[in-house]
Structure 1
């Protein structure tokens, strides 16, 4: 049975405060934080990213979700287009899928050659070593969900007009390749789980519980991030507040509520 919303929201509150403190710490120290969210279709990457960044300044914490590469990008070194999205000092970047597309969807769906996959699995640990050696805090999460759970979520997307946009032809084609994705994932984890950039697998069969688990783990692995908020002087106006005026224009009427 999934975690109830009320219990989830109550458990999320203190973690959100810690995330806000982490963001203040990153800004104060110039830390650069990169978090990769990987997993099967419908695993819950978008919801997890939303839970992390909901209360953070969007100018400091941004999500990167790249579309398929352009013709020019296809002619570049594979990692090149991702480098442009790495954080500067004080920034937090959340990758909704990342360079690991090459070891997953591109491999399974035949969008790249076996030689390109082999080169990627050899280069990824070296690439990530360059990042971590330069001081970037890199966290890699794999969100795990069983096939029956995936099928239920795909059906929900199909039936819900507000979620239909999430259902792509690739998602549908991938249903028949569940075992191929498993083999690709295992090869990826074996080749790229390193001391400098380890993988962390999180059970996302219950998405709310999975989000809490991921956020707790992230906070536990960042250095002591407690940072008191900057004091702000907020003096009294010294007069009664005035109502907004619009000249000849009138505000639109409130939406009727029964």
Structure 2
């Protein structure tokens, strides 16, 4: 069977455009948010990153992430990245852009629910250990063992003794992870009081995002200052040479994502993995095979 080169080119172009549209669909509601933010800032406000610059840099950085992924697989590296920050700080959006074009078998996200009764009786770090990366894996923790230093502390889900034990143990725990060969990278997403309130109000008004608001999220507004004190204490007591914290300025979501990915790429030296040329094998055809028709009632109705 022969293919018209022009038709092939047009088909490839459509496929690439469709890939770009995946990001554009995600961005549509965020552009609306940016417009509202710009209106509220007035002349003295700082505009968000130009859309063309943002997309050009995002796709470039995502291409580099694929190279990093290949290198991690090739060298059997173990990478664990922690994403922490206030509710609505933009952790989920950043994680989505990191994983968007990567192989989910190599790069996976861990977002654990509240601990069960049994887990609460375990060694605190125990439920996180099974999710740590093996060789050739990247694991992104959407919140991590630092829950104890944040929400558990502020909301009274742990005792003062349990909190103090956490602060005594976590440097040794992370030192063991690093000694075992895990590349451990910790990010804190920082936003202002005003920005968090604005994002919460947007979620309240948007029926597509109301599910993101949990009762615990709403309580975080009441306890803003308590979370601030908890964050400052946490950063001071757990910022070590073995596992330092990196703070992401996250009021501007687009800049935060690009800065995060660029920084992540710089934390792990990588090279291009040499690959043999890929050749698509010819399809095997059998003269006695006849494709059977699909019954019409099995088709999904073509509404569009």
TM-score by length of 2: 0.79
1:214 to 260, 267, 273: 260
2:201 counterpart of 1:155: yes
> What are the residue-to-residue correspondences of 1:60-79 with 2, within 5 Å?
60-79=106-125
Q: Is the 8 A contact 1:24 1:229 kept in 2?
A: no
2:111 counterpart of 1:51: no
Q: Which ranges of structure 2 fall in alignment gaps of 5 or more residues?
A: 1-46, 286-290
Cα distance between partner residues in 1 of 2:281 and 2:196 = 54
RMSD: 1.8
2:298 counterpart of 1:248: no
Cα distance between partner residues in 2 of 1:17 and 1:132 = 27
Q: Is the 8 A contact 1:21 1:228 kept in 2?
A: no
2:76 to 13, 22, 30: 30
State the Cα distance separating 1:247 from its structure 2 match: 3.0
Cα distance between partner residues in 1 of 2:284 and 2:147 = 58
Alignment length (residue pairs): 253
Is the partner of 1:201 in helix, strand or coil? strand
Q: Is the 8 A contact 2:80 2:139 kept in 1?
A: yes
> What are the residue-to-residue correspondences of 1:66-145 with 2, within 5 Å?
66-145=112-191
Cα distance between partner residues in 2 of 1:41 and 1:23 = 29
What corresponds to 1:203 in structure 2? 249
Cα distance between partner residues in 2 of 1:45 and 1:80 = 24
TM-score by length of 1: 0.93
Q: 1:203 to 1:236 in 2, by over 3 A?
A: same
State the Cα distance separating 1:130 from its structure 2 match: 0.3
Q: Which ranges of structure 1 fall in alignment gaps of 5 or more residues?
A: none
Q: Is the 8 A contact 2:187 2:245 kept in 1?
A: yes
More helix by share: 2
State the Cα distance separating 1:3 from its structure 2 match: 2.1
Q: 1:228 to 1:187 in 2, by over 3 A?
A: same
Q: 1:228 to 1:50 in 2, by over 3 A?
A: farther
State the Cα distance separating 1:84 from its structure 2 match: 0.9
Structure having the higher Rg: 2
